[in-house]
Structure 1
Amino acid sequence: MAAYREKINELQELLKEDNINFKLFRKQCFRGVPDDSGLRPLCWKLLLNYLPPNRKQWKEVLRSKRDLYKQFIDEMVVAPKDGRTDCPRIDVTMDDHPLSINPDSKWQTFFKDNEVLLQIDKDVRRLCPDISFFQQASDFPCQEIVCGPDSDSIRLHNRVQYTALSAGTVERKGIGMNKVSYTVRKAQEDYAVLSSGQEAHWEVVERILFIYAKLNPGQSYVQGMNEIIGPIYYLFATDADSDWREYAEADTFFCFTGLMSEIRDFFIKTLDESEMGINGLMNRLMRKLKECDPQVWNRLKNQELEPPFYSFRWLTLLLSQEFDLPDILRIWDSLFADENRFEFLIYVCTAMIVLLRENLLSGDFPCNLKLLQNFPSMDVHIVLDCAVQLALSCSLSS
């Protein structure tokens, strides 16, 4: 307990400095930010380069960033009108219309936005299904949206309903058509309806991802990004300090954007074969496994148990699907504090395989595949300690 308190005190003293010693700060965070210290949200903002090491700059940085995000909401969520209702009849041969191929067509923009929004909407509703947090109401809903005169029409999840298709079922008896019945196919809404003036946390995450997609049209939204943003938003939205919690949405957006700038190559298919692409990353993992445990590496190779079968998800989602949320937060302390950004991720994944060596060496292909695709429950500190030991042994051997 004394060592635990000392760890908290050391981190608190570092954060009080006018100009934070970032090298020492990273070292402390790499060992894990104490859960009940209340310091992790602030530490992540620093590690993800949202806040500078100079404390005197924080106030201005936060003001400008949060004002900018509010502007994004006004321009991309509140202000746009889809133009399909409450408008006079026009000559579609002369003006913009749904079949226009003009890239500047507002209808083209609307259809593209809704295609992206449809996927985001599906993904954010199933964020962290083991906890109810994302279905709960936010303490600080976006007032421009929940209290505006057009609240229902500008909520992003309501826009998705417009894309629901009607399907006709033709029933025949003998020769000729007897009956056509029409139904509207929609995803089942298995979440609690909140009262007026409220919005759920998943709606906030949906808005962040939509704005990110709009600002990054070359990459847009890719399935899996919801798993990256989820833990960050959860951490900021549960900050014990309400002054920080009030701006969880804006702070999450910029931290997520900064993180994606470092791992975006994982999500770009055309870069899969590059050294920084996902295939290059999986090759690095296999080289590290061969170096650390050639016997296990040889076993997987002989069984033709290819890395994409299990490690693709590990690497692209930073292990967010392999551990419970509290363990993910602890793992990400070390990943974000890694000086060689995400080099430690390779060691963590290698440690996960090495810790299963007895089962892998005795198991056949189906058993080993199932084991790696469903990593067994394990104390996260055992995994991290093993990863540190592997990193130390590799550095000594080189």
Structure 2
Amino acid sequence: MDGDADFFEKFKDESYDDFFTREQPSQPTQQAQAGKSTDGPTFFAIHSDDDGVDGADVSDGPDEQAAPSLVPQPPAPEAQFSSEDLQLYRALGDFYLRLNAQNLANVNRIVEQYRGNKLTHLFAALATKYNLPPPEVIELVASSLCISSPFEFPVESSQKLDDHLQQLRVAAGRGIEDPDRREELLASVLAPTDGTSAAVSSSMLHALCLRGIPSARLRPHAWKVLLGVLPQNADTTLQTEKRRLYESHKLCFLVPGREKLEIKASERPLSESLELLSQIQKDVQRTRQEEELYQQTATRNALISALFVYAQLNNARYVQGMNEILATFFYVFATAGDADFAEHDAFWCFSHLMQNMKPGLMTDDGSVDGTYSQVSSFENLLRKYDPDLARHLVQHGSPHFAVAFRWCAGLFAQDASLQDLLQLWDSFIGDPMGYELVVYTCLASLMACREDLLASDDEFQLAEIMRGAPRRDVKQLQRRSWAICALERREQTPPFPARSVAQVVEQIAGWAQGAASKAQNFMPVVKDKASRASAAAKEASKEKVQAVQNWLETTPVRQEVFDKAQTRFSALVQATGAVASKAAQKFVETM
């Protein structure tokens, strides 16, 4: 098909014709069993037009006792394979042993062809050929993802960084997948002296942080820079000024030097301020009770003060969960930063983080910004990658919406252990696309407990299963979220996941719903006439939509089928638009 042809035209090398067109019987011949060399490598083709070519018919041999069958094995990995190459080698070996044993002979060549950023293209194509469900593809990518390549950056902006990373690998013999090397590079990026461009330096900082900060001592500075609290090359003067500024803010709202916090008079009514302080105190007392640090009076007062000052400065409604976010920042600065200023530094990091999250946290009107937007994106991803699980959850009360809102609003601070949370936040704060990784982690969390969710039909039990998912295995959770990130941000050739008939029809329904919603804004007289015309159009559209649905193949839709469906649907939309235009013209003439 056209999409796959473009894909292979881009990636084939000089040995393509030999590699992708030579064929070999699916069972060892007598000559091969005798130890003699075969004619060449097994046929390997990814595009869906090769169905039936992988296995050649083998004629019946003489009527004699068959030799005992041996489990096929891939060739030994190449000596120059890196640790990440070996991951892909093992994943492909297991994959072909299960689904197409005759391709085991080509595993080394496939690794060389698709290592690095091309890995997701490989598995997207294999998913089409072998009809793999998306959750299985996520697991395959997670087990073999090349984290030394900048998979989290869009294609158009990743090449320069990829080249820079390769140069660093050649110079040191190690890439950023190695924690020690990552620590060395992070220290140098935070104190740049080599003349690296600002853009590359900033991208490097994001990439290094996303993969995890190996040393706790580097985390305070890295987070401040990535959150925008301090510029990358800031001196101590600016940091000192910001700490003094927080102290001045605090003096405006709280009486200093008291073990028990007292409120100063301000523009906000005293009753509101007292209620705000009381709510913050209750939540802080419940924060991380298993951690000794948070049981100390000084820590609690610091958290209460910072939250109260933030709410007063921003005229914001305090929301439960903010205490968990601030407490995480406080832990980082109290244990690995300057403990005397942990409250000050935590306040500024919290404030900058809230700038991105505030629209979703502070409003109840379903704003498309902030957390609401993230939850909506998560639901779309769930329907896209696992429609069966999405349907199951909807049928049993949709508990995933509330859990996902909790995760997105609090960045998993309420459901992950503290040490695991620091690793997750390294990735969230390091995401160059602005916390999209939080959404991918929501989906990855459901993938971690997928079988348990499908086995339950109780709404409350489903919610408990989901809430426990972030505590299972944080490293595997991160790799799944990175796999989803890599699949989403890759150039979508070949497309993945392939959309099913149900998803195509859902898209049509969504378009119709959107059009109907816009129609509600017309003035009443127009609405009355439009509704009568809409009723007639609806009946006519039903037949056409049904015709499109009947024409489509069964799940999953092949790319050429989907393209044709889109063409037909576009024609339907254009025809409907023409009819609507004529109706509108006639209506105007009657006014």
TM-score, L = length of structure 2:
0.49
Structure-2 residue corresponding to 1:27 = 207
Q: Which digits, 9 at most, give the CA deviation of each residue in 1:300-333, with x for residues without a partner?
A: 1233324334222111111111110001111000
Q: Higher relative CO (CA 8 A, sep ≥ 6), structure 1 or 2?
A: 1
2:358 paired with 1:264: yes
**Equivalence map 1:284-363=2 (5 Å):** 284-363=377-456
2:268 paired with 1:208: no
**Partner of 2:441: helix, strand, or coil?**
helix
Structure 1 residue 233 displacement after superposition: 0.7
- Cα distance in 2 for partners of 1:252, 1:369 equals 31
Structure-2 residue corresponding to 1:74 = 251
Structure 2 residue identity aligned to 1:61: L
Structure-1 residue corresponding to 2:187 = 12
Structure of higher CA gyration radius:
2
Quick check: which one's helix share is greater? 2
Contact residue 441 and residue 481 of structure 2 kept, 8 A: yes
- Cα distance in 2 for partners of 1:360, 1:341 equals 29
Label 1:60 to 1:310 Cα distance change in 2 as closer, same or farther (>3 A): same
Structure-1 residue corresponding to 2:473 = 379
- Cα distance in 2 for partners of 1:11, 1:45 equals 14
Structure 2 residue identity aligned to 1:361: L
Contact residue 212 and residue 220 of structure 1 kept, 8 A: no
- Cα distance in 2 for partners of 1:107, 1:300 equals 47
Q: Which one of the candidate residues 325, 329, 332 is aligned to 1:235?
A: 332
Label 1:80 to 1:123 Cα distance change in 2 as closer, same or farther (>3 A): same
Structure-1 residue corresponding to 2:235 = 58
Structure 1 residue identity aligned to 2:191: K
Contact residue 305 and residue 369 of structure 1 kept, 8 A: no
Structure-1 residue corresponding to 2:279 = 119
Structure 2 residue identity aligned to 1:12: A
Quick check: which one's strand share is greater? 1
Contact residue 448 and residue 469 of structure 2 kept, 8 A: no
Structure 1 residue identity aligned to 2:247: K
- Cα distance in 1 for partners of 2:268, 2:387 equals 54
Segment of structure 1 superposing worse, 350-359 or 71-80? 71-80
Structure-2 residue corresponding to 1:148 = none
Structure 2 spans left out of the alignment, 5+ residues: 1-173, 259-264, 496-591
- Cα distance in 1 for partners of 2:243, 2:470 equals 41
Contact residue 49 and residue 258 of structure 1 kept, 8 A: yes
The percentage of counterpart residues that share the same residue type is 29
2:290 paired with 1:130: yes
Q: Which digits, 9 at most, give the CA deviation of each residue in 1:241-292, with x for residues without a partner?
A: 5xx2222111111111111111011212334x22215443322111111112
- Cα distance in 2 for partners of 1:29, 1:107 equals 41
Structure-2 residue corresponding to 1:46 = 225
How many residues of Structure 1 are paired with residues of Structure 2 in the alignment?
A: 304
After the TM superposition, list the runs of 4 or more consecutive aligned residues in structure 1 that deviate by more than 6 angstroms.
105-108
Label 1:37 to 1:284 Cα distance change in 2 as closer, same or farther (>3 A): closer
Structure 1 residue 349 displacement after superposition: 0.3
Contact residue 237 and residue 245 of structure 1 kept, 8 A: yes
Structure 2 residue identity aligned to 1:322: D
- Cα distance in 1 for partners of 2:250, 2:453 equals 50
Label 1:220 to 1:299 Cα distance change in 2 as closer, same or farther (>3 A): closer
Contact residue 212 and residue 427 of structure 2 kept, 8 A: yes
Structure 2 residue identity aligned to 1:207: S
- Cα distance in 1 for partners of 2:438, 2:390 equals 18
Structure 1 residue identity aligned to 2:312: K
Label 1:315 to 1:267 Cα distance change in 2 as closer, same or farther (>3 A): same
Contact residue 120 and residue 206 of structure 1 kept, 8 A: yes
Structure-1 residue corresponding to 2:321 = 224
Contact residue 357 and residue 371 of structure 2 kept, 8 A: no
Q: Which digits, 9 at most, give the CA deviation of each residue in 1:170-226, with x for residues without a partner?
A: xxxxxxxxxxxxxxxxxxxxxxxxxxxxx5211111111111111111x13222210
- Cα distance in 2 for partners of 1:333, 1:37 equals 11
Contact residue 253 and residue 266 of structure 2 kept, 8 A: no
Contact residue 445 and residue 470 of structure 2 kept, 8 A: no
Label 1:323 to 1:214 Cα distance change in 2 as closer, same or farther (>3 A): same
Q: Which digits, 9 at most, give the CA deviation of each residue in 1:328-360, with x for residues without a partner?
A: 111000101111111111100001111212122
**Equivalence map 1:238-249=2 (5 Å):** 238-239=335-336, 244-249=338-343
Q: Which one of the candidate residues 360, 365, 377 is aligned to 2:458?
A: 365
Contact residue 317 and residue 362 of structure 2 kept, 8 A: no
Label 1:301 to 1:12 Cα distance change in 2 as closer, same or farther (>3 A): same
Q: Which one of the candidate residues 482, 495, 498 is aligned to 1:388?
A: 482
- Cα distance in 1 for partners of 2:446, 2:290 equals 25
Structure 1 residue identity aligned to 2:278: L
Over aligned residues, Cα RMSD in angstroms?
2.4
Structure 2 residue identity aligned to 1:210: F
Label 1:64 to 1:285 Cα distance change in 2 as closer, same or farther (>3 A): same
TM-score, L = length of structure 1:
0.71
Q: Which one of the candidate residues 346, 352, 364 is aligned to 1:252?
A: 346
Structure 1 residue 107 displacement after superposition: 9.9
Contact residue 305 and residue 365 of structure 1 kept, 8 A: no
Contact residue 33 and residue 333 of structure 1 kept, 8 A: yes
**Partner of 1:375: helix, strand, or coil?**
helix
- Cα distance in 2 for partners of 1:214, 1:37 equals 32
- Cα distance in 2 for partners of 1:270, 1:289 equals 24
Structure 1 residue 365 displacement after superposition: 2.6
Structure 2 residue identity aligned to 1:377: R
